[in-house]
Amino acid sequence: MKPLFSVYVVLILSMISCSNDDDSNDAIASGLNGKWNLVNISGGFTGIDHDFANGTIVWDFNETNNTVTVTNNNTDTTISDILPSGTYSYSIVDKESIKELIVNDINRGTFEMTNDEFIINEQFRDGFRVVFRR
């Protein structure tokens, strides 16, 4: 009886220790780590279209602890630049094959990524389209 009990304990412990990583964002975020320059913001209710020089606004993603550190050197308060300087939590969720970027529990819009560029798009709700490049 003792060996059978041990088998059950091992089975139960192994089942408890398994994790469900269906919601994992590792495949999405694998290229996100590091610094990204906000280079363009467009859209919104007023229809803005503004380019930023590299280094003006930088988002530095840390995939290990799921944080993004924003360095915002934009001094023009009339131009929307999304977030002030600071460190924020982030995640990428996949909803019905549409990826969305969540920063500090706020959905920033759909998320599309290529090797050297990613785009956050919330134009579907009169929001902005924001382009970042390495």
The CATH architecture of the domain made up of 24-133 is: Beta Barrel (2.40)
pLDDT at 23 over 90: no
**Kind of pairing, strands 98-103 and 86-95?**
antiparallel
With cut-offs at 50, 70 and 90, classify the pLDDT of residue 19.
Answer: very low
Q: What is the pLDDT of residues 27-61, one digit of tens each?
A: 344 578 999 999 999 998 888 999 999 999 999 99
Contact criterion met (CB below 8 Å) for 56 and 38: yes
DSSP states along 47-78: TEEEE--TTSEEEEEETTTTEEEEEE----TT
Share of the chain above pLDDT 70, in %: 76
Domain boundaries, given as residue ranges, for the chain? 24-133
Taking all residues of the chain, what is their mean pLDDT, rounded to a whole number? Answer: 82
Residue type, 8: Y
pLDDT at 75 over 80: yes
CA gap 28, 81 in Å, rounded: 24
With cut-offs at 50, 70 and 90, classify the pLDDT of residue 133.
Answer: very high
Query: What is the pLDDT, as a whole number, of residue 64?
Result: 93
